[in-house]
Amino acid sequence: MAAENGDTVTIPVIDISEENKNAAEDLVDAAAKYGFVFVKNNIAGIPPSEISQMFNLSETLFKSSVEVKETCSINSAKSGKNRGWLAMHTETLDPAKQKRGDFKEAFNIGEFKDGHPQQPFPEPLAVQETTVGHFMNSCHELCNRIHVLFAQGLQISESAGGSSWFSSRHDRIKGPSGSILRLLYYPSIPSSLLPEGETDIRAGAHSDYGSITLLFQLPGQPGLEIRIPSGTSWSPVPVNPHNEAALPILVNIGDLLSYWTGGLFKSTVHRVIFPKAQNGEAIGDRYSIAYFCHPLDKAELVEVPSPVVKAYMEENKGRDMSIGMGVGKLDEGQILTAKGHLERRLAATYGSNAQGKD
Ligand SMILES: O=C(O)CCC(=O)C(=O)O
Ligand SMILES: [Fe+2]
């Protein structure tokens, strides 16, 4: 199980296949304690070959010329809100601390419709459109397997919706959602240019906005850190804690699911730092891929019918569903939808003409 030891947190690695009869309970426990958990990438996961294919594609994309990427810039009207390419330093995830924008490039891909993207793709992605769509489907299915286990672990009764309580609200056949696949590239830099302190960082401290995020990392490319739940210090997140043949997939809880569960599940703050250089060596590239899973736009964020959530909320009286954590006060009797939650969350961070993030 997860353990906190001084300044480091050991994030648990859970087998979510049918084999593990405690999977639901273990997942809920990790979501409530740490907001982060690894799932083993076994039969219940995503074939490693599909993941490698996406990383290869990502590398080809980011190594292509600025002119190619710029045709699909997030700032172009063609890409649509929060879709497309973000150049280096475009996004600043922790504006209070950062001197410059994040040292990264990203490419945000919104939901496909009838098997096709709803935004322009630059050449390297366009020729592999099917691969991208297939990968997004695999990610979404994995998220829904986790949602089923959450519903079981939270003991939602059959009469109240049972194990499909969350997954049915993420069923893309029923309508659009804000789910995003994000390719990330943190370029290498000579260690002599390595910035000092916290003012320059690969990705500033933030929490994610949706229900859950899947994060794919590569061996030898560290840098992700989570804020220790009980304090202000940071703990590194390994890429492969148990040296498994198939890298485990990192899952974290977003703000929306934390809000939905009345604060029981934690949306833990995380960041990406420049790893320490060895003897003046350059800091290597880091590639990562995130799938930000969101409920259907129209999903109503009503109280989850769970005795576990109820008990938590009773113990923590301050958690009032009329105050959306991080999204302000709601009007009397107003029920927030997933779309409304995302809009409020983006506005709270970026002001009314919100552009970025998930
Ligand atoms: O690259 C990473 O490891 C994390 C990226 C991330 O947290 C984000 O884009 O929300
Ligand atoms: Fe994140």
**pLDDT on residue 327:** 67
CA-wise closest residue to 262 among 292, 199, 304, 209: 304
Q: What is the mean pLDDT of residues 216-233?
A: 89
What CA–CA distance (Å, rounded) separates 189 from 297? 40
pLDDT at 251 over 60: yes
Burial of 102 from C-beta contacts in 10 A (0-12 / 13-18 / 19+): buried
**pLDDT on residue 325:** 57
pLDDT: which is higher, 279 or 228: 228
How many residues in the chain?
A: 358
Residue of 224, 226, 286, 292 to mutate, ligand 1, most atoms within 8 A of C-beta: 224
- The owner of tokens 């949706």 is 210
Which ligand has the minimum distance to the alpha carbon of residue 356? Answer: 1
> What does the block give as tokens for 146?
């986790």
Residue 104 Cα: closest atom of ligand 1: 1
Instruction: State the distance from the centre of ligand 2 to the C-alpha of 213, rounded, in angstroms.
Output: 8
- Sequence-ordered list of residues with C-beta below 8 angstroms from that of 314, at least 6 positions apart, any chain: none
Residues in contact with ligand 1 by the CB-under-6-Å rule are 182, 184, 203, 208, 215, 224, 270, 272, 288, 290
pLDDT at 20 over 70: yes
Instruction: State the distance from the centre of ligand 1 to the C-alpha of 37, rounded, in angstroms.
Output: 15
What type of residue sits at position 91? E
Compute the Cα dihedral for 297, 303, 306, 312 and give only its sign: positive
Instruction: State the distance from the centre of ligand 2 to the C-alpha of 358, rounded, in angstroms.
Output: 9
Burial of 68 from C-beta contacts in 10 A (0-12 / 13-18 / 19+): middle
**pLDDT on residue 160:** 96
**pLDDT on residue 310:** 94
Q: What is the mean pLDDT of residues 221-227?
A: 94
Question: Which range, of 93-102, 106-115, 182-191, 238-247, averages the lowest pLDDT?
Answer: 93-102
* pTM metric for this prediction: 0.93
Instruction: State the distance from the centre of ligand 1 to the C-alpha of 204, rounded, in angstroms.
Output: 9
Q: How confident is the model at residue 141 (pLDDT cuts 50, 70, 90)?
A: very high
ipTM of model: 0.99
pLDDT at 355 over 70: no
pLDDT at 356 over 50: no
Q: What is the mean pLDDT of residues 24-45?
A: 95
Domain 13-350: give its CATH superfamily: B-lactam Antibiotic, Isopenicillin N Synthase; Chain (2.60.120.330)
- Sequence-ordered list of residues with C-beta below 8 angstroms from that of 193, at least 6 positions apart, any chain: none
pLDDT at 1 over 50: no
The residues spanned by each domain of the chain are: 13-350
Residue of 109, 211, 256, 270 to mutate, ligand 1, most atoms within 8 A of C-beta: 270
pLDDT: which is higher, 6 or 55: 55
- Sequence-ordered list of residues with C-beta below 8 angstroms from that of 74, at least 6 positions apart, any chain: 82, 83, 84, 85, 86, 90, 108, 355, 356
Q: Within the chain, how many helices (H) and strands (E) appear?
A: 8, 18
Question: Which range, of 167-171, 213-217, 296-300, 326-330, averages the lowest pLDDT?
Answer: 326-330
For 99-121, what is each residue's pLDDT tens digit?
888 899 999 999 999 999 999 99
For the chain, first and last CA: distance in Å? Answer: 29
What CA–CA distance (Å, rounded) separates 326 from 311? 22
Instruction: State the distance from the centre of ligand 1 to the C-alpha of 271, rounded, in angstroms.
Output: 7
**pLDDT on residue 96:** 86
pLDDT at 353 over 50: no
What CA–CA distance (Å, rounded) separates 328 from 345? 9
**pLDDT on residue 105:** 95
CA distances in angstroms from 30 to 81, 100, 107, 153, 200, listed in the order given: 33, 34, 30, 11, 31
